């Protein structure tokens, strides 16, 4: 466990030996945390457009962005719907790259019957306040390689040879060494305790989200003008988000829909403003939105509906009716 999902992503890159000048491939359709960790190191962020159906990185287009400098691929499981991991792992193997998953939305999610967290070299989870399970602030990294895990543990606490427990467990064992430059990325004991209790209810919370997604599907499917999120048959989504989209021809009404729902006491959100739209990345990389047509279209037409375990069926129906009202008014 770590103090945040961002810390997990940062240490994953360091443990994968990503260095200044190396290239890291990810999606523009994510939160800045995914790419800022590469910036911390001075690695170059390379973007691959998303698929239109799941809004995840288009796995078939990763290979064309690989150069001799590429070190890692960072897929982001958008909204908790897992990326096409078999293909991504094949590409990575072929080019000897490390795969670091941003699974901030995935507590839990499954790909071909396997839990996200068990699919690649390193998987990074977030327990931030708005995530599927939360410790207030917190994160987690899972991996198979014990050396990778040991390196992450050491970097997590100042690069020390021993953490405090190991220093004080046995008598006369106070000596320690700073073996490398590390970070202050440990979780608090309090957030770790919260995490243990959240784990016990994680599946129950997930089942409620799945049920709410079904209700939305039933209540919204008759409304024309919108595209409902899909769940491909070989995955199980966490349903961290319920990302609705307006059909492309109606996308100019997206902001009005958000305002209309707000007038009816329905709080929504939008995921994501693509990385290339933000000033920092614009100034640094001069990416063109026209190079990422699918991400651009989704960002212009998306609206994230309320989804949280306590949401009632009556509320889902009220939301669906309000959306229906909006479309009959335009």
Q: Which of 42/136 has CB closer to ligand PLP?
A: 136
Please state, in angstroms and rounded to a whole number, the distance separating the CA atoms of residues 246 and 299.
10
Per-residue H/E/C for 118-146: CCCCEEEEECCCCCCCCCCCCEEEEECCH
Q: How many residues line the site for ligand PLP (CB under 6 A)?
A: 14
| Contact pattern from residue 97 through residue 136 relative to ligand PLP, giving x for each residue in contact according to CB under 6 A and a dash for the rest | -----x-xx--------------------x-x--------
Report the residue number, 129 or 259, with the smaller CB distance to ligand PLP: 129
Q: Is the peptide bond before 108 cis (omega within 30 degrees of 0)?
A: yes
Residue 195: Cβ within 10 Å count: 20
Tell the smallest beta-carbon distance from residue 69 to ligand PLP (Å): 24
- Vertex 60 angle, CA 55 and 66, to 5°: 110
Reading the block at residue 45, the tokens are 């962020």
Q: Which is nearer to ligand PLP, 4 or 219 (CB)?
A: 4
Q: How far is the CB of 304 from ligand PLP (least distance, A)?
A: 12
Tokens 């770590």 correspond to 2
Binding string, residues 6-45; x marks residues near ligand PLP by CB under 6 A: x-----------------------xx-xx-----------
Find out whether 30 and 275 touch, Cβ atoms under 8 Å.
yes
Q: Of 131, 154, 214, 221, which one is the catalytic site residue?
A: 131
Q: Catalytic residue at 221?
A: no
Cα(244)–Cα(248) distance, rounded to whole angstroms?
12
Decide whether 76 or 244 has the Cβ nearer to ligand PLP. 76
Residues that bind ligand PLP (CB under 6 A): 4-6, 30-31, 33-34, 76, 102, 104-105, 126, 128, 139
Cite the active site residues: 131
């Amino acid at each position: 466990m770590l103090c945040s999902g961002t810390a997990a992503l940062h240490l994953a890159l360091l443990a994968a030996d990503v260095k200044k000048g190396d290239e890291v491939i990810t999606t523009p359709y994510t939160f800045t945390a995914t790419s800022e960790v590469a910036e911390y190191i001075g690695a170059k962020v390379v973007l691959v457009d998303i698929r239109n159906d799941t809004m995840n990185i288009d796995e078939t287009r990763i290979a064309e962005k690989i150069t001799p400098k590429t070190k890692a691929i960072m897929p982001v499981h958008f909204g908790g719907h897992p990326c096409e991991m078999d293909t991504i792992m094949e590409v990575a193997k072929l080019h000897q790259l490390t795969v670091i998953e941003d699974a901030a939305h995935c507590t839990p999610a499954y790909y071909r019957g396997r839990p996200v967290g068990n699919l690649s070299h390193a998987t990074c989870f977030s327990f931030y306040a708005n995530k599927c399970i939360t410790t207030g602030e917190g994160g987690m990294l899972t991996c198979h390689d014990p050396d990778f895990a040991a390196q992450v543990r050491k970097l997590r606490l100042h690069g020390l040879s021993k953490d405090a427990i190991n220093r004080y467990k046995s008598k006369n064992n106070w000596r320690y060494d700073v073996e490398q430059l590390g970070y202050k990325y440990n979780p608090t004991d309090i957030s770790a305790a919260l995490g243990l209790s959240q784990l016990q209810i994680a599946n129950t919370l997930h089942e409620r989200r799945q049920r709410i997604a079904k209700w939305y599907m039933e209540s919204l499917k008759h409304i024309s003008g919108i595209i409902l999120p899909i769940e491909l048959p070989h995955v199980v989504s966490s349903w961290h988000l319920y990302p609705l989209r307006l059909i492309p021809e109606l996308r100019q009404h997206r902001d009005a829909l958000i305002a209309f729902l707000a007038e009816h006491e329905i709080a929504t959100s939008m995921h994501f403003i693509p990385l290339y739209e933000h000033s920092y990345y614009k100034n640094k990389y001069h990416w063109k939105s026209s190079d990422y047509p699918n991400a651009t279209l989704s960002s212009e037409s998306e609206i994230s509906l309320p989804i949280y375990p306590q949401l009632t069926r009556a509320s889902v129906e009220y939301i669906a009716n309000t959306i229906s009202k909006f479309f009959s008014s335009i």
